[in-house]
Every structure is written in structure tokens, then in C-alpha cells.
Structure 1
């Protein structure tokens, strides 16, 4: 029997409501379901049974899908997002289309699309302290009331520049429509094999975003006169940084695989999400 996983964000009422209906539809289609709740309370759940899953429905918003993507990337399970949040850039379907979505999954009428991920390794005094992976971005930022932070940027060990301000973001093309976009970064087609470096509120007007090849490696050296500095992955997993810490960001070997139900043009999705569907 084919197995379908279902991840639901318990903090979103619409997602919880959808879960019951989705289970009914999957059962009626002859598909076995494995259900999990998302969030910090369930981060240590045993996901070994997911190796049998054909794909995983993710009921929630973009944040929910980002968290599940980090969990499931090592397993290679494709994700199908059903939007129960706000923008839903990463979602493939809306709650109103649930029945048709299940019908297409049951008929295997879908395609798969790979998205690159990032790997960030924190080194302190020559020792690797932690390594994280994520789909959207790695952010280095100061706290709300702290003074500026300076980040030295190296690409393949070649010095690029020192950026003073609120911090710096390294993002994937998928993440270009997230935090980086709000900091003035460009929008990138998700199929591009590149990384994007975007300063956060830089102290100088000549500091601009930079696009590099995904095969290159970014090394970030943190300088600050205070300890209110942190690194986040996808804006969800945080690590406190100390002055002198180094963060190396590279393309991860892991991939997020997204289920696609039809040919939706990227710019159509972009216009719909950012401008409420206006054509002009």
C-alpha cells in the first residue's frame, strides 16, 4: 500500500481542520497515512517510518514548510505544501483545492522539483561548533538594541569587503523572496545555481547585494564590541555568536524536493503573492 505522510502545524486552526478532511480523502483513495505535528515540541519525533513515504503533505504556511524541509531533506521525501498561512510562496495548493489535489496525488499526476539548500558551519577558536542546513537563508544579525556588527566576507578565501550595519544574509534563490527581499536584495529564479549575499541596513551606501556561483564558498568573520549577535537558519534555528567567530556557508548536498501539480509560471506566482494578483 502506498504511504503518504501528513505534517500539520498545530498552532494554525485552518491546518488542524484540513488534517481531518485530508485523512478522509487519502483513506478513500486507498492511501495509508502517517501523521506528524510540527514545531519545537515535536522536533525529536521518530521519522524513520517516513522512508516508506511517497511524499509528505505540509499543512501550514511557508514557515511550517521550511521546518519540515530541514527535517526531511536527508530522507529525500518530496513535500506538497497546502497553504494555511499568509503568502504561501512555497505552497502548491490552497485548502479549497484539497479534493483535486488528493485525486492528482492518487493518480501520480504530479512532477518533482529540486531546490538547493545551504549548509552553514560555525567555527569558534578553530573548532567547528555546529553545522546547520536550510532552504532559505543564513542570517547574521545584531540584537534589537545592540550597536552595529561588522562582517568580513570572503568568497573562496578571497576578501570581498567588510560590511558594517545590522548584519548580513546569505540566501538561496528560493530564499531571495524572503528576508533578503526586504533588505533590498534581488528576486532570483528558483532554478538558478547561485547564492545571494545581502547586507542588512549597511552603514555605507556603496554596500550592495552580490550574486555568486553556488559552487563557491562564503566565509563570514564576525566583529563586534558586544555579544548581542546571532546566526539564524531560515529565521527559525538560532545560535549565539561571539566576536571572532567564523561562519562558512556552502551549497548543501541535501536537497528539498517540492511536488508540482502543474506548470505555474514563477512570475505569475510572484505577482499573485506580492501584488494580490494584480496584472499591472
Structure 2
């Protein structure tokens, strides 16, 4: 891998030890003559990553999710330092990154090119999702009616609390809580999982990259609530449909090789723990 010449440290100051961790890493970078800047403003602006080789997120998975669109636009690699609870994406702990950072800057790192969702509304809006796009009834008054097609072919009609469209990266998030499958992150696919479907036969479906999905809304129903990676997205007034597909771009994530994906899954989900019933 190429050596790192410039770094932006994105610091979540609401996390304990974030500032001290950033300062320790910045000293290592400056000792190697690497240009380093610190950013504490959120949400992250794409312009702040222009010309930056590495975006080092110091916070957790939530902070890292906020770097998706800016890092894609700037074509910047992302590394996450976990000061939060999960650590599915931010796979370095502070002591690990301080120990390994000099080697990473010298080009000794592994990149995982994570598939993301390209989401486009029929009203012209677009957004990327690293974890998921979720459609729900906006006013919490009951079930929502949705029709899902691929290339004009009907897949199914749903009467449910909502639909989750998840990447493999997001398969261990809301998708998993709703009973959806865990997908290895190196697989390129979309998992569609209904939330509490009225028809018990409606179950999760996994689609390949060659199947763009179109979701159609009931025009007589209230406007839906649409979230992307947990944030409200798209103006839903007059919205008739959304198109969802695997994007051509990939999220360039530097992963801790000492924390294999399924060791993280096993740890976080307590697989094999005899105390978990």
C-alpha cells in the first residue's frame, strides 16, 4: 500500500479520551513529517478532506458513518478508532492504534472496499448508505404499504411496519435486530428485510448487484419516513418511488487485521457465551 502523506483527524469531543488520543497520534504523524489537521465540527464537510490521504475518525461507529459521503467525494481512505460501544467499523482501540500508527503511515495497512447503497428518489434527490436505508410510516399510526420491483418485475407487495435495505456492512445493525441475515462484508449484495410484516410469508430477501430495486409508495397514504444510516433523508412530500442499488463507488476502510470481522461479531453478539440464554 502507498504511504500516507496527509491526515485529517476527525475528533468526537463528546467521547472521553478522544482529544488525548488525537494528540498522541498527531505527534506520531508530525514526527514523520506528515501534514496533519484536526477537525471537530460535525457534520463533516467534503471540502475539509480535499487532498487528504487518510481520514482518521476518533469516536466510534456513529462518528465514522458521518464520514461516508465526504470521504467518497474526496476519495479518502478512512480509519476508525473506537471510543464507543460497538466497533464493527471503527476496529482500532486507542492502545492498538497508538502502537500500530507508525507502521500504518509507512503503508502497512489493509483496505476493505465496502459496498454501499446508491439511493435515488424520483424527485431527483440522491444519497449513499454504508449501513442501510429504512422506510417507515411517518406518523407512527400503523402499517405502511410498499411495492418492490426490480427492472419493472414485481418482487412483492408489503404491508408492514417498514422495510430495511441493508448492505453487508449494515447487516449486523437494524437488519439483524429485525430478524435479517448476517452477511460477510466482502459479499456485494443487498438484504431487504420487512419489519413486523402483516403476512408471515414475507421474509428477508438477498439481492445481487445486478438487481436494482424500486420501491413504490401508496399515494393515498401519509408521507413515509425515510432514514439513511439512521439520519432522516429525502423530502417525502410528493415522493412516489425510490431506486436502490449497489453504488459503483466503494468505501475505503482501513481495517485492523488483528480484529477479524467474525471475531467482532462473535464478541459483540456473545456467540458461544454460556451465560447468554
User: Normalising by the residue count of structure 2, what TM-score does the alignment of the two structures yield?
Assistant: 0.89
User: Residue 76 of structure 1 corresponds to which residue in structure 2?
Assistant: 75
Classify the secondary structure of the residue corresponding to 1:239.
coil
Q: Which of the two has greater strand per residue?
A: 1
Unaligned runs of 5+ in 1: none
Corresponding residue pairs, total: 272
Deviation for aligned residue 1:97? 1.8
Q: Is the contact made by 1:229 and 1:240 (CA closer than 8 Å) also made in structure 2?
A: no
Deviation for aligned residue 1:222? 1.3
Distance in 2 (CA, whole Å) between partners of 1:237 and 1:277 is 36
CA distance 1:144–1:199, shift in 2 (3 Å): same
CA distance 1:146–1:219, shift in 2 (3 Å): same
Q: 1:35 aligns with which of 26, 38, 46?
A: 38
Q: 2:171 aligns with which of 173, 176, 192?
A: 176
User: Residue 195 of structure 1 corresponds to which residue in structure 2?
Assistant: 190
Deviation for aligned residue 1:207? 0.9
Q: 1:208 aligns with which of 203, 213, 220?
A: 203
Do residues 236 (structure 1) and 250 (structure 2) align?
no
User: Residue 240 of structure 2 corresponds to which residue in structure 1?
Assistant: 245
Residues 112-133 of structure 1: per-residue CA shift (max 9 Å, x gap): 110111111111xxxx331111
1:122-271 matches, cutoff 5 A: 122-123=121-122, 128-143=123-138, 145-223=140-218, 226-227=221-222, 229-242=224-237, 245-262=240-257, 264-271=259-266
Distance in 2 (CA, whole Å) between partners of 1:45 and 1:248 is 24
User: Normalising by the residue count of structure 1, what TM-score does the alignment of the two structures yield?
Assistant: 0.88
Deviation for aligned residue 1:65? 0.8
Unaligned runs of 5+ in 2: none
RMSD: 2.3
Residues 69-104 of structure 1: per-residue CA shift (max 9 Å, x gap): 222112221111000111110012101223213122
CA distance 1:150–1:242, shift in 2 (3 Å): farther
Runs of 4+ in 1 over 6 A off after TM superposition: none
Deviation for aligned residue 1:30? 2.8
CA distance 1:97–1:171, shift in 2 (3 Å): same
CA distance 1:233–1:34, shift in 2 (3 Å): same
Q: Is the contact made by 1:230 and 1:240 (CA closer than 8 Å) also made in structure 2?
A: no
Q: Is the contact made by 1:121 and 1:248 (CA closer than 8 Å) also made in structure 2?
A: yes
CA distance 1:147–1:228, shift in 2 (3 Å): farther
Distance in 2 (CA, whole Å) between partners of 1:145 and 1:3 is 46
